[in-house]
Homo-oligomer: A and B are copies of this chain.
């Protein structure tokens, strides 16, 4: 139950892109240098982010990456879903077990429909996941950039 390192790298990389100027591509060399990750590995991560429309990539001289949309429209949830996948965090593996059915059938009985509802345990876990997703959706790359700049000005004022 841990986020992968790839998610870590992706988040840092996107914040880096967010810091850089508009219309200014950041190459994989520069990026890998800033994060301390190998170019080859980081490439894979950036490719994924491109395929999902989080960043744009320009090959060739002076090419590189830039955010595909404004930083306030890139949420933590977006990024995590790209890297970790979109499967549910919890799923009962043995859906035909006596114990599982005991917690499922009751639900089916309540509604007259034959619609397949999850078991009670799944419901709680799904609820947890929804809470998490909601929180992550509410925080974006811009959140970090704002916070970062706020700290900076604080710092300047003190001096």
Binding site for B on A (CB under 8 A): 1-5, 7-9, 11-13, 15-16, 19, 33-37, 76, 80, 84-85, 87-94, 96-100, 102-103, 106-107, 109-110, 120-121, 124-125, 127-128, 131-132, 135-136, 139, 143-144, 147-148, 151-152, 154-155, 158
CA distance A90 to B155 in the complex (A): 27
A selection of 13 A-B contacts at a CB cut-off of 8 Å is A1-B1, A1-B3, A12-B100, A12-B121, A35-B94, A35-B98, A35-B100, A76-B125, A106-B152, A107-B151, A109-B151, A110-B151, A128-B136
Given A33-B98, A154-B110, A155-B110, A103:B15 Cβ within 8 A: yes
Q: Which of B12, B88, B97 contacts A35 (CB 8 A)?
A: B97
Smallest CB-CB separation from A37: which chain B residue?
A: B94
Judging by beta carbons under 8 Å apart, are A97 and B151 in contact?
no
Closest 7 CB pairs of A and B: A106-B151, A36-B97, A1-B84, A36-B94, A34-B99, A3-B90, A34-B98
